[in-house]
Structure 1
Amino acid sequence: MKKISSVLSKTFIVLMAIITLFPFVYMILSSFMTYQEATSIPPTLFPEKFQWSNFELAMEQAPFVRYFFNTIFVSGISTIGTLITSILGGFALVKLEFKYKNILILIMAALLMVPYEVTIFTNYQTIAQLGLLDTYTALIVPSLASIFYIFYLKEYLTSIPISYYKAAKVDGCSDLDFIRRILVPLAKPALFTMGILSFISGWNSFLWPILVTNSKEMRLLSNGLSSFATESGTNVHLQMAASTIAIVPILILYLVFRKQIIRGVVKSGVKG
């Protein structure tokens, strides 16, 4: 029975892996196809001849160099802001004692249940009233803090003994000095994981940038993929080539730092 159970489990895992990876693999294969092959029914699985020129044509379809710069800049600043606000918020929730602390934690936990789509239009109204539409500020400010990452870091900081904080206070260390000299070095694995995940999230952002920007020069990489839609249809093969170009940096980032990401997630105690 154990052997049968093991075979069934491994078979199930392999099937799930194939289902998960197939769209990604087909996207890469489609990027080398002609338009006829990419839109054929039944689908063509392998191109008859690899069309390397698709990538050059895709980069000429829209200002992708500008999109790459915008995406790296916005994602980088947002990630730095998220790390700063998360370490400050996590420190306050774990190490400090203040009135109504438990109520605040309860309210923040309740806000995690609110769907992103519910808050996005309120954020848009605020940005519009401040006259910040079509600016980098509009793209960056709403993502400078994340309740999820504050709770993520809070779980990690809980494992750091409170005696470290008390000893630092006895030695005359301020809260900011304690965070900079002790807390940040001890929390490096969690902060590293947060930084990678936050950057990936910013890189893949689509809905918010398209809402608060009007000009092509302010769009992000994922928004640039809509440039392949024309009145006569969509250049699917070029769109797949552009998608492949857009996903390669993130794929490399994950492959290089996958061990650190997994280690940070495991140590934080946050699952899902």
Structure 2
Amino acid sequence: MSSTTRTASLRTQWRQAFSRRNLAATVLGGYLPILIAMAIIVLPLAWMVIASFKPIPEIITTQPTLWPQAPTLDNYRHVADTVPLLTVLGNSLIVTIVGSAIKVVLAITTAYALVFVDFRFKNAVFLAVLVALMVPPEAALLPNYLTISALGGRNTLWGIILPGLGTAFGTFLLRQQFKTLPKELLEAAKLDGAGHLKRLWRIVVPVSAPTIATVALVTIVGEWNSFMWPLIITDSVHTMTLPVGLNLLQTIEGQTGSYGYLMAGAVLVILPVLVVFAALQRFIVSGLTQGAVK
């Protein structure tokens, strides 16, 4: 192909790519839905953060403004004075770290057993995991409450952690990932004398790190944001987690003038989650799509 023909072909492709019809299809079918979705998700969060720095008269007004005219940290000071932040923050950290670590370990070992260990009723166990994915957590609130109360777990951190130690989502996702691993890799390790634990932690886990990071991220966010179960099982401020402790703001400040305090409390809840997400976000796409393409 001569240079003249190649140049003409490139010009034709360029015109086609930037034609009105192609640009309209790209904008309407691609960018516009993304922008709408981002607006729906980001705008309420942005307003929440901005409102947390506004004094009460700028929130309760007939002439609202986007940016605070007199930025203040009084809302955060009021939250710190009303709620024992260090106590509830420490409780949330313990519940999140301990609960997430146990959940991820159980998900890894269960998924490994469902893929690489031969035992009876394996399919029945996996079916039970799928059923657990379909059952809403609210359905287990009453049985869990009666059980934990009978064991003396009310107003304790282990009472918050114990009922949610199983993660059907993590087990399912890791099982699907482990099934994509080449069997020859594990068979070679078995011939070298490696047992199940060695094969799991030295071969399967390192190879599946992105998927495990995804499960860990989802688990951490779920544990940190958990509200209903900690609210039910605790009524002492000394064992409340951060979301439940900040709910005291709505109880104490049961009026429209508390909006700024509530926004400041909500920012304190989501800020640690955003930090964890920023640290692990590069694993999300690769973890969720790993094994989808060979």
Higher mean displacement: 243-252 or 22-31: 243-252
Q: Counterpart in 2 of 1:246?
A: 269
The within-5 A match list for 1:37-116 is 37-41=58-62, 44-116=65-137
TM-aligned CA distance change 1:95 to 1:207, over 3 Å:
same
Deviation at 1:231, TM superposition (A): 6.2
- Given that 2:213 and 2:287 are in contact with CA atoms closer than 8 Å, whether structure 1 keeps it comes out as yes
Higher mean displacement: 243-252 or 39-48: 39-48
Q: Counterpart in 1 of 2:28?
A: 8
Q: Counterpart in 1 of 2:255?
A: 233
Higher mean displacement: 1-10 or 148-157: 1-10
TM-aligned CA distance change 1:40 to 1:122, over 3 Å:
farther
Q: Counterpart in 1 of 2:12?
A: none
Deviations 1:35-62 (A, max 9, x none): 2322335754332211123222221111
Higher mean displacement: 88-97 or 240-249: 240-249
CA distance in 2, matches of 1:227, 1:103: 44
One-letter amino acid matched to 1:67: V
One-letter amino acid matched to 1:122: P
CA distance in 2, matches of 1:61, 1:174: 54
One-letter amino acid matched to 1:82: K
Higher mean displacement: 6-15 or 63-72: 6-15
3-state DSSP of counterpart to 2:134: coil
The within-5 A match list for 1:1-272 is 1-9=21-29, 10-41=31-62, 44-229=65-250, 230=252, 233=255, 235-267=258-290, 269=292
CA distance in 1, matches of 2:137, 2:122: 25
TM-aligned CA distance change 1:44 to 1:106, over 3 Å:
same
The number of aligned residues is: 269
- Given that 1:190 and 1:268 are in contact with CA atoms closer than 8 Å, whether structure 2 keeps it comes out as no
TM-aligned CA distance change 1:160 to 1:50, over 3 Å:
same
- Given that 1:228 and 1:236 are in contact with CA atoms closer than 8 Å, whether structure 2 keeps it comes out as no
CA distance in 2, matches of 1:87, 1:232: 45
One-letter amino acid matched to 1:247: I
3-state DSSP of counterpart to 1:216: coil
CA distance in 2, matches of 1:98, 1:163: 21
Larger Rg over CA atoms: 2
3-state DSSP of counterpart to 1:218: coil
One-letter amino acid matched to 1:167: A
CA distance in 1, matches of 2:23, 2:279: 35
3-state DSSP of counterpart to 1:250: helix
Q: Counterpart in 1 of 2:18?
A: none
Q: Once the two structures are aligned, what percentage of the paired residues are identical?
A: 28
3-state DSSP of counterpart to 1:217: coil
Deviations 1:168-220 (A, max 9, x none): 22222221122122222222111122212211111111111011112011111
TM-aligned CA distance change 1:232 to 1:147, over 3 Å:
closer
3-state DSSP of counterpart to 1:112: helix
3-state DSSP of counterpart to 1:51: coil
CA distance in 2, matches of 1:58, 1:133: 26
- Given that 2:55 and 2:74 are in contact with CA atoms closer than 8 Å, whether structure 1 keeps it comes out as no
> How high is the TM-score relative to the length of structure 2?
0.86
Deviation at 1:232, TM superposition (A): 5.1
One-letter amino acid matched to 2:262: Q
CA distance in 2, matches of 1:221, 1:84: 25
TM-aligned CA distance change 1:253 to 1:154, over 3 Å:
same
Deviation at 1:5, TM superposition (A): 1.3
CA distance in 2, matches of 1:137, 1:217: 13
Deviations 1:141-184 (A, max 9, x none): 12222111000111111111122222222222221122122222
Q: Counterpart in 1 of 2:3?
A: none
5+ residue gaps in structure 1?
none
